[in-house]
Structure 1
Amino acid sequence: MSVDGAASALQFPREADARGAFVRQQSRFRDWVTTDGSSDHPAAAGRYHLYVSLACPWASRTLIVRRLKRLEEAIGLTVVDPLRDARGWRFLPEEPDPVNGFAFVAEAYAASDPAFDGRVTVPVLWDKQAGRIVNNESTDIVRMLNSAFDEWGDPAVDLYPEPLRAEIDALNERIYETVNNGVYRAGFASTQAAYEEAFEALFETLEWLEQRLASRRYLTGDAITEADWRLFVTLVRFDAVYVGHFKCNLRRIADYPHLDGYLRDLYQQPGIAETVNLDHIKRHYYMTHPQINPSRIVPRGPALDFDAPHDRARLAA
């Protein structure tokens, strides 16, 4: 492909290197909600609001942790339209923004940083009292939800326990680079070499995960941690979207016995199924990436049964 051809094939031209590889932009807002008064955003019930898309895996991480920590009453939530256009994520007439009356998430970015000119992403954690975005990095938001709001949530749920932090961090690093972001690096590549590099790293890690999960129920053992939920949001989208749309088609998750059972085990945890909306997921990917799917036709399949038995409990110690 010529240089001009590669450029025209880019879904996000500003997020690519000279080789045609996708290079995700850095999150703009990285402030923290704290319990000790060390930041401008003290933990409080009712002060913060999450803007998410049910289609977006990064946003889904935060939605899952909010649910598991039982923070529904403490932190508000608004779900945006899964169909994103040139103006970015928009609020639906049936679920308008209850905090600011914004029509688009881009307005939250402009209110927080008028000079921002990057791609508007979700999730967004909004401080209603300060009138600005606290954070738009899902990794940070997950950690805040896990510990900063325990006074109003369930302190018994700890997805980042101290004894496992080094192991969780190492897992997150590899899984993010080659799986979570790896599917995007394959799907948004504009050269064969960049695609194949991402493709090979993705399936090498999936095979490594398959072997790891052959002898343990979850990634670190018997307890579910944030590493599992970070992986889950990619796995649950994989066969429906990434296999075809992002050309990640060496194998499906259904072709990995241990990964497939692990996916169903996580999906069947209380409250998780309600965070997964395959209609939003499929319509978002197939209808909002015109460089990849110019017809915007959404496939009818595949048939997926996340409620099927998984037999993973036999691996518990």
Structure 2
Amino acid sequence: MTYLVGKVALDVNAGAPNNGLGSDNVARVKKLYAGGLSHPYVSAQAFRRWVRDSLPADERRSPVFRSGSGKNQQAYSSGRPDRYLDDDLFGYMVAVSKGSSCQRDTVLATGTLVSVTPEKPAEDFGTMSRGFDTGANPVLHGHEHYTADLAGDVLLDLARVGTFETDGSGLKVALTSAAAQEAAAGGAERIDFRGASALRLPLAERRRRVAVLLRTLAAVRGGAKQALHYGDRTPSLTLLAPIKGGVNPFTRVLRARDRRTFFDVRVFTEELTAWREELDGPVHVGWAPGFLGDQREAVRAELADAIGSGSIILDHPRIVLNRLADEIEGGQHDVWFEDTRK
């Protein structure tokens, strides 16, 4: 079995893409503290919402249902990964009544996108007085924003794309019995998968779904405060490696050095050496020109031999992701979809 694992990095310039709870009439950005220093972040939930919202317009989304009131409210999607790509890749929990409950763990795992270096958000002060009478006091408000390089880990379990467990107990099944019957009638194949019975969509559809996801990652848009702090939210750097066991060895590739984000090529190459036997193809590095200054060309020079041999592919994120999507959809990596777990 093969997983695509690696990193995603965003270049935020005077932005406030994900906000937490406000206080004192000030909208606060989300941030955590390490060693007493502030690190702004974008939650995994927010980034996944951006990706979902950035799916092609003709890609059907799973409808969302809401029930209850007050503290007893719940919201859930239709729980039909056979019909909807987002239910398949992002997972869900439908807990409504006996016989109608089902759950799917995520196929696309995403970490929190945290500022690599400590950054203290600035507080922007504003007023609203348009149309007020002369001499009237303005309405005061404020919000935070920051400039930072955010990075987080990603993992895509390729064998589970389009594969849905149908036995187990409680919420462990991905499809209800009625949904499983419909999926089987629609062409899904019955298989044994990781110790459970499952239904699997045709390979062409599984290829298509991964290709759609990769192309969407190349064109992500979204985030809060777009009116005041519009900015590009496509990844400035992506690193995706096909790894047989699903371990992500690249979590320490981006780190802080001299208060700047630094791509540590020594860490990168040592991890490649340590995990060489688990690699199942080239490592794909998408790196936007201008991100991290002149480091891109310095890293390209240090990796020249590996790039020349094809074991590392380094290009613009959009080019790398779209090319990999084309290869997967064209059947060049079908072995990645096969589960070989014993």
Structure with larger Rg: 2
Structure 1 length as normaliser, TM-score? 0.30
Identify, as 1 or 2, the structure richer in strand. Answer: 2
Higher RCO, 1 vs 2 (CA within 8 Å, ≥6 residues apart)? 2
Structure 2 length as normaliser, TM-score? 0.28
Identify, as 1 or 2, the structure richer in helix. Answer: 1
